Amino acid sequence: MTEFGKSLRADATPIPGLVVWQLPVHGDNRGWFKENWQREKMVSLGLPDFKPVQNNVSLNETAGTTRGIHAEPWDKFVSVATGRIFGAWVDLRAGPSFGATFTAEIDPSRAVFVPRGVGNAFQTLEPNTAYIYLVNDHYSPEAEYTSLNLADETVAIDWPIPLERAALSAKDRENPRLTELRPVSPRKTLVLGAGGQLGRALRETYSDTSGVEFAERADIDLTAGNIETSRRWGDYETIINAAAYTGVDSAETDEGRAAAWAANVAGVAALARTAAEHGITLVHISSDYVFDGQAPKPYREDDPVSPLGVYGQTKAAGDQIVGTVDRHYVVRTSWVIGDGRNFVRTMLSLAARGVNPAVVNDQHGRPTFTSEIARAIRHLIETRAPYGTYNVTGSGSAMSWAEVARRTFELAGHDPGRITDVSTAEYFADASKPVAPRPLNSVLDLAKIHSVGFEPADACGTLMDYVRRETSGAE
């Protein structure tokens, strides 16, 4: 008998992520009505916004019809329109809850959200039971489908109608036992631009983690126009986009302008569409160049952008596109130093060769090492911080490039007095190639990243460690 008049409520179960939903059913002399799936109300009560793409109905003519135990690579929302079922769920995901079981009777006033990797089964308790399930992906022959034997002795489901008297398929009778199954792997993380400075730092940060794939431009090219078909995206939980066109000055040329817009805007748009379609968290790297550098204070995440050059324009456009993805992190940074050609290595080389450089003294910011950016990205993802834009730089006092140069010379045992201060205008006065305008203030406010529990390392301390490694030959 369907229970009428309940309030919409979510009830947790012993299986992580498996939730029973009590559904309001309204009945009168004509029959009954219910909102079987109501995105706004259910999401506000904690249901993942799993974006169903298919609605299936299974009519089961006889009581005792039994189907399962199947774990497909998608989330399900299961319910019944008529009749009753005995539902059984077994966690087949890799992890400490592997093998955990939950059972419940489901009538039209109850529904169950079944997360990816949890085995789902039911047995009808009445004739002509209509079983309904919404799923958020389509069948693919390339996907992994896991099934468990309905009679498995380990999970020991107490079926109301014994299986020897139940109606079930020959295939379901022959499914493997729990001890024979390979647990369902979690959805993966994909790092794009894994050959760049930040990509290499991300390789190091995730070196202890399985399920993280690294793709370089030869594997996935944002400008190739085939992002949507380059992977089976239903297998991925997160994309970290460390790929970008970063030639600040070359972007001011005709060829560079086209390349920058292709990679930083068109390619990012394709990536954002893919992430949105498949419910993937998209992590994207932004830049201080989205600002004009005229503000008298550190820039907050919500300050209006006003880029001066082509590179900044493309990064600002990419940020706006990524912001349309429900699950996104835009990590905005500045003055990046990583494994490869960078400002500090240039200064160390000049110092060792006896060259006394002129360095600009009217641009101010904080050096940001790629190891810190990678650490912040992992923190945001693993702590499930609120989605949005976060500034990530080294912490401590702001300084000019000239001050960074003097500090680098000093740490390497050279006379910091060898550095000559010049303005940005003076430095580029005789440039023979196009030069992008630079923001003079690149200091980013770090209050928001602090608020989610991440403490950026002091820029001067990280610079000291970096110079020591570089000058000692340590890897």
> Which domains, from first to last, does the chain contain?
9-180 (2.60.120.10), 188-472 (3.40.50.720)
Residue 6 has a pLDDT of: 87
DSSP letters, 230-288, are: SS-GGGEEEEEE------TTGGGSHHHHHHHHIIIIIHHHHHHHHHHHHT-EEEEEEEG
- Tell me the pLDDT tens digit for each residue of 317-332: 999 999 999 999 999 9
- Tell me the pLDDT tens digit for each residue of 259-288: 999 999 999 999 999 999 999 999 999 999
Residues noted as catalytic: 70, 133
Q: What is the C-alpha separation between 56 and 33, in angstroms, rounded?
A: 19
Residue 475 has a pLDDT of: 42
Show the tokens assigned to 262.
């292709």
How many CB atoms lie under 10 A from the CB of residue 38? 16
Nearest Cα residue to 464 out of 409, 401, 387, 384: 409
Whether residue 308 contacts residue 436, with contact meaning beta carbons closer than 8 Å, is answered with: yes
Q: Helix and strand tally (H, E) in the chain?
A: 12, 25
Residue 431 has a pLDDT of: 82
Whether residue 211 contacts residue 188, with contact meaning beta carbons closer than 8 Å, is answered with: yes
Residue 347 reports pLDDT greater than 90:
yes
Full-model pTM = 0.90
Residue pointed to by tokens 């005229």 = 294
Nearest Cα residue to 18 out of 84, 93, 82, 68: 93
Residue pointed to by tokens 């006033």 = 109
Residue 226 reports pLDDT greater than 70:
yes
Residue 1 has a pLDDT of: 64
Nearest Cα residue to 466 out of 343, 293, 324: 343
How remote is the C-alpha of 49 from its chain's centroid? 15
Nearest Cα residue to 325 out of 217, 258, 238: 238
Q: How far is CA 249 from CA 252, 256, 266, 377, 463, in A?
A: 6, 9, 20, 27, 25
Q: What is the C-alpha separation between 6 and 21, in angstroms, rounded?
A: 11
Degrees to nearest 5, angle at CA 458 with 452 and 464: 150
Q: Which of 26-40, 97-111, 427-441 has the highest mean pLDDT?
A: 97-111
What residue type is assigned to position 24 of the chain? P
Residue 191 has a pLDDT of: 98
- Tell me the pLDDT tens digit for each residue of 83-140: 999 999 999 999 999 999 999 999 999 999 999 999 999 999 999 999 999 999 988 8
Show the tokens assigned to 343.
């400002």
381: preceding bond cis by omega (within 30 degrees): no
Distance linking the first and last C-alpha atoms of the chain: 70
What residue type is assigned to position 385 of the chain? A
Handedness of CA 320, 325, 326, 329 (dihedral sign): negative
Nearest Cα residue to 442 out of 402, 406, 398: 398
Helix, strand, or coil (residue 444)? strand
What percentage of residues in the chain have a pLDDT greater than 90? 90
What value does the mean pLDDT of the chain take?
95
Whether residue 141 contacts residue 113, with contact meaning beta carbons closer than 8 Å, is answered with: no
Show the tokens assigned to 373.
């950016």
Q: What is the C-alpha separation between 83 and 110, in angstroms, rounded?
A: 12
